[in-house]
Amino acid sequence: MIFLQLFYVFSKIGIFNFGGGYAMLSLIQDEVVNKHHWLSVNEFTDIVAVSQSTPGPIGINCATYTGYTAVIHAGYPTWAAVLGAILASLSVIWLPFILMVSISKFLIKHSKAKFVNDIFGTLRPAIVGLLLAAALMLMSKENFGSPSESPFVFILSVVIFLFAFVGTRLYKIHPILMILLCGLAGLLIY
C-alpha cells in the first residue's frame, strides 16, 4: 500500500532529521532512491535543484514531490497523487512536532547540561559525514555521464561541478543564481 509506505517512510525521515536542510538529504536518498525506488538518481538530483529555487524547507519540498511522483508511478490518477503529496509532507512534520512540544521545555532548562553537550559534540560531526555521503553518492554516471560512453558530457559536467563549487564556496555566488547559470549553460552547450 503506497500511502501507508509514504506515511511510514516520511515519518521516519522527519524524526531522524537533526540539523535540518541538507543534513537530511542522505536520509531521503537512502529511503526514496535506494530502498523504495520511488525516484531515480536523476529525479532526486532534479528535485534538490528545484527545492533550491522554490520557497520552503527542502525536506517538505522533497516529501511533496516524492509523494506525488511515487503515487503516479504506482498507477494512480492525479487527484490521488495530490493526496499522496500532502500526506508525505504532513508525515515529515507530525512526529517532530509532538517531540518539540515535550522536549523544548526540557532542553531550554538543560541546554547548558554536560550530557546534552556530549551528545551534540559527536552528533554534529556525524551530520557533516551525512552531508559528505549525500554529495558522494550523487557523483554518479546518471548525474555526470560516463567517461567512456560520453566523454564530452563527462568532462563538461566536471567543469560545471568545479565552477559551481568554487563559485559558491569562494565567491559566495547565490545558489539560485548558480543553478540558473548552470541550467543556461546546459541549454546552450548540449
Partner 1 sequence: MSIYTEIFVTFAKIGSFTLGGGYAMVQMMEREVVDNKHWLSREEFLDTLVVAQSTPGLFAIDMASHVGLKLKGVKGGIVGALATALPSIVAILLIAIFFQAFKGNIYVEKIFMGVRPCVVALILTPCFSMAKKAKLNKRNWWIPIVCALLIVAFGVSPIWCILAAGVGGFIYGQVTK
CA dist., res. 65 & res. 177, Å (int): 22
Report the residue from 4, 77, 115, 171 that binds partner 1 according to the rule CB under 8 A: 115
Name the minimum Å distance from CB 55 to partner 1: 5
How many chain residues bind partner 1 (CB under 8 A)?
112
Judged by CB under 8 A, the residue of 2, 9, 10, 26 near partner 1 is 26
Q: Which of residues 79-98 bind partner 1 (CB under 8 A)?
A: 81-82, 85-86, 89-90, 92-93, 95-97
Instruction: Please report how close the Cβ of residue 180 comes to partner 1 at its closest, in angstroms.
Output: 9
Q: Locate 94 and state its grid cell.
A: 507530525
**Secondary structure element (H or E) that encloses residue 50, with its range:** helix 41-52
Name the nearest CA neighbour of 164 among 151, 153, 180. 180
Q: Is 19 in the site for partner 1 (CB under 8 A)?
A: yes
Establish if 177 lies at the interface with partner 1 (CB under 8 A).
no
Residue 67 beta carbon to partner 1: minimum distance, rounded to whole angstroms: 9
Q: How far is the CB of 122 from partner 1 (least distance, A)?
A: 3
Q: Using a CB cutoff of 8 Å and minimum separation of 24, what contacts does 121-127 make?
A: 123/18, 124/19, 127/18, 127/19, 127/23
Interface residue with partner 1, options 3, 5, 36, 46 (CB under 8 A):
46
Q: How far apart are alpha carbons 29 and 141 in whole angstroms? A: 16
Residue 186 Cβ, how far from partner 1 at the closest point, in Å? 2
Question: 171: which 3 cell numbers?
Answer: 565567491
- How many angstroms separate the first and last alpha carbons of the chain? 40
Taking CB under 8 A as the criterion, the residue among 116, 146, 147, 151 binding partner 1 is 116
User: How many C-beta atoms surround the C-beta of residue 122 within 10 A?
Assistant: 9
74 binds partner 1 (CB under 8 A): no
Answer yes or no whether residue 11 interacts with partner 1 by CB under 8 A: no
- Give the one residue of 3, 12, 76, 80 binding partner 1; rule: CB under 8 A: 12
Contacts of 57 (CB under 8 A, 6+ apart): 20, 21
